[in-house]
Amino acid sequence: MPPLARERFRSLSKMLPVFFTFLLIIVQQGLDPVWFGIYVIIMSELAAITPPIGVNVYVMAKVAPEVPLMEIFRGILPFFVVACWWLR
């Protein structure tokens, strides 16, 4: 299995127990579990594009080595701002 896929499964195995624990709390509070799932996915994607982790950005930097890392971060900035505004 490629290292990136192995890391993805490792993080998924850490996230699922926490997700289901919070899901029980969300259901007990009377909130919609579908919207909770959407919120978790959006927050996971925001974590994947922002430092200090920024896995997606570093993968993009390896795919296109001629593009500077700061330019990639500037490119994702509008999407990050919109996603943060959307989650407010």
> For the chain, what are the domain ranges?
3-86
Q: What angle do CA 63, 68, 73 make, to 5 degrees?
A: 90
CB 83 within 8 A of CB 42: yes
The pair of three-digit structure tokens given for residue 55, joined into one six-digit string: 């896995």
Tell me the per-residue pLDDT of 7-27, one tens digit each, with 9 for 90 and over: 666 677 777 888 889 889 999
What pLDDT does residue 1 have?
Answer: 60
CB 43 within 8 A of CB 19: no
What pLDDT does residue 41 have?
Answer: 85
* Phi (first) and psi of residue 39, to 5 degrees: -60, -45
What pLDDT does residue 44 have?
Answer: 83
User: Given pLDDT bands bounded at 50, 70 and 90, which one contains residue 52?
Assistant: confident
